[in-house]
Structure 1
Amino acid sequence: MSAYVIATIFLLLILLAGYLFLSHSIEKRRVQRQRLITALRARRNSFRDLATGFPTGFLSNDLTALLYRALVDCCDQLSRLEPKDPTHAEQFNLYTNLLATQKDNNQQTRVRLENPQQIKEAHSLLQELHRFVMQQSALHLINQVQTEAYIDQINRLVLQMSVDGHVFNARQSQQVGKVRLAVHYYTLARKALAAENASHGFDKQIAQLDAMIAKLQEKAEATPEGAEQPAATSNTKPAATTDGSSSKEWKNFDEENAKWKKKQIYD
């Protein structure tokens, strides 16, 4: 009888240990699943903010498609982890359609940021996008050729924002009659382009800036030192209306910028 009791107790201990082990495994999987869901939700929100945070047309088609593919992947995983939540499937369909539309959109129009606040916000978003590309590369989700192409496009956008910021300040200076200050900011824009012009891809833009700088310098030399007066009032017209030739030259500059050729990326 004692042997039977001992065997029963031993069996119960085995069952209890098995139950505890199974319960621990189930709880561990539940915690891991919840952590994965939380991480996927955070990634989806981050990618969504990147995809929608930039002005329309600011990112290249390739960078926008990269973000949409990441969003599609996140929503697909979430829909399988939480099949009862219909929003995941809805978002999966949404971003799949946006990705398809993006692939069909071959027309790229250069978008220039309008003010320093936009430039500051876009710069922060580009830093996040750069980190995302490097993470994708480290995980071997994109190859080295793709990584270099994406980074090159991001660097071009950073350069574009730098030039945009200097040009914005130059135009503001022109509007208030500060010709020499405008020359200073246009010169900074020229230097930013010249520093990245090893392949001579910005020769035409630099030449156009040179022409604008020369014209403003001529105007500044014709103005006695200290005679520049603030010209801005509530009804002040933009510089484009007071200096039509400069406006035309800058328009040509924008058109040349629009011809920047992005590298081809093949998945």
Structure 2
Amino acid sequence: MSAYVIAGIFLSLILLAGYLFLSHSIEKKRVQRQRLITALRARRNSFRDLATGFPSGFLSNDLTGLLYRALIDCCEQLSRLEPNDQTHTENLNLYTNLLAAQKENAPQVKVRLDNPQQIKEANQLLQELNKFVAQQAALRNINQVQTEAYTDQITRLMLQITVDGHVFNARQAQQIGKLRLAVHHYALARKALAADNGSHLFDKQIAQLDAIMAKLQEKVEVNSEAAASEGEAAPAKAPATGDQTTSKEWRQFDEENDKWKKKSIYD
């Protein structure tokens, strides 16, 4: 075999290897680009749902502003990745205008979620917002003070809706006469508060929950004794509408719950 043939084969192999390497690199970049686009679209949709799918006042002005900046960041990246898609530019302008308008808005009255499905969705979306804060901190787009402030507000809001969810379930159980189940859900609310009570901020709410559970437990025992004396297992009765003691304890808990929800590093 002549030297020219060997050299030709060797050169062909080099070119083939180069072509395969280049093709692999191009495909890898294409896949990475598509994954990034998919992730950005998913994040944009999640933040959009958080911004528009919940009652006005659920998020503080600070978190609303953070949310709009997150949406702007997503739209900017998508505009660069998909320059032919004009919806990204339109959304970018929309959220930029909403952010500017939001800065002029007066503080809103806090609202509470009373829908179990909304509470579940809000928890998931707030976790995604918390990831965005961590990402921005890693990129040094926000400083440590801002990071701690946003994280603190998101954590408190997640605790709030967790407690609200347990309390909602407890009230539902009370309404249908399932007092033991109501005590169980109130206990879950108490446990959630106690787990984040290192600064004793929730001592009063915890004490009020203890009082509510004690009253309900007393009713459970009274009903059990009455059923035993009658010689039959009678279902627990729902608490009377006129039960002023339990109602008073619950109103006090509501008032204290509203107070701690307003506490934040920006107060």
Secondary structure class of the residue paired with 1:223: helix
Residue 96 of structure 1 and its aligned partner are, at CA, apart by 2.9
Residue 72 of structure 1 and its aligned partner are, at CA, apart by 3.2
Aligned to 1:150: 150
Matched-pair contact (CA < 8 Å) for 1:240–1:246? no
Provide TM-score, normalisation by structure 2: 0.69
Structure 1 residue 217 and structure 2 residue 217: aligned? yes
In structure 2, give the amino acid aligned to 1:262: S
Q: Distance in 2 between matches of 1:61 and 1:242?
A: 39
Matched-pair contact (CA < 8 Å) for 2:46–2:125? no
In structure 1, give the amino acid aligned to 2:91: Q
Matched-pair contact (CA < 8 Å) for 1:190–1:206? yes
Q: Distance in 2 between matches of 1:47 and 1:100?
A: 17
Deviation sequence 1:107-151 (CA, Å, 0-9, x none): 343332223322222222122112111111111111112112222
Change in 2 beyond 3 A, CA 1:168/1:42:
closer
Residue 81 of structure 1 and its aligned partner are, at CA, apart by 8.1
Aligned to 2:5: none
Q: What stretches of structure 1 of length at least 5 have no aligned partner?
A: 1-23, 233-238
Residue 65 of structure 1 and its aligned partner are, at CA, apart by 0.7
Aligned to 2:3: none
Matched-pair contact (CA < 8 Å) for 1:176–1:230? no
Residue 203 of structure 1 and its aligned partner are, at CA, apart by 1.9
In structure 2, give the amino acid aligned to 1:263: I
Change in 2 beyond 3 A, CA 1:203/1:104:
farther
Aligned to 2:235: 229
Q: Distance in 1 between matches of 2:265 and 2:89?
A: 33
Change in 2 beyond 3 A, CA 1:83/1:115:
closer
Change in 2 beyond 3 A, CA 1:96/1:259:
farther
Q: What stretches of structure 2 of length at least 5 have no aligned partner?
A: 1-21, 228-232
Aligned to 2:125: 125
Structure 1 residue 164 and structure 2 residue 138: aligned? no
Aligned to 2:180: 180
Aligned partner of 1:264 among 240, 253, 266: 266
Matched-pair contact (CA < 8 Å) for 1:113–1:119? yes
Structure 1 residue 64 and structure 2 residue 64: aligned? yes
Q: What's the C-alpha RMSD, in Å, of the aligned pairs?
A: 3.4
Provide TM-score, normalisation by structure 1: 0.69
Deviation sequence 1:81-125 (CA, Å, 0-9, x none): 888866455434432332234333443433322233222222221
Residue 73 of structure 1 and its aligned partner are, at CA, apart by 4.2
Change in 2 beyond 3 A, CA 1:168/1:90:
same
Matched-pair contact (CA < 8 Å) for 1:178–1:228? no
Change in 2 beyond 3 A, CA 1:84/1:43:
same
Q: Distance in 1 between matches of 2:47 and 2:70?
A: 7
Secondary structure class of the residue paired with 1:104: coil
Secondary structure class of the residue paired with 1:259: helix
Q: Distance in 2 between matches of 1:184 and 1:82?
A: 51
Residue 171 of structure 1 and its aligned partner are, at CA, apart by 1.0
In structure 1, give the amino acid aligned to 2:167: V
Q: Please say which of residues 200-209 and 40-49 is displaced more in the overlay.
A: 40-49
Q: Distance in 2 between matches of 1:98 and 1:241?
A: 45
Change in 2 beyond 3 A, CA 1:104/1:218:
farther
Q: Distance in 1 between matches of 2:132 and 2:167?
A: 30
In structure 1, give the amino acid aligned to 2:162: S
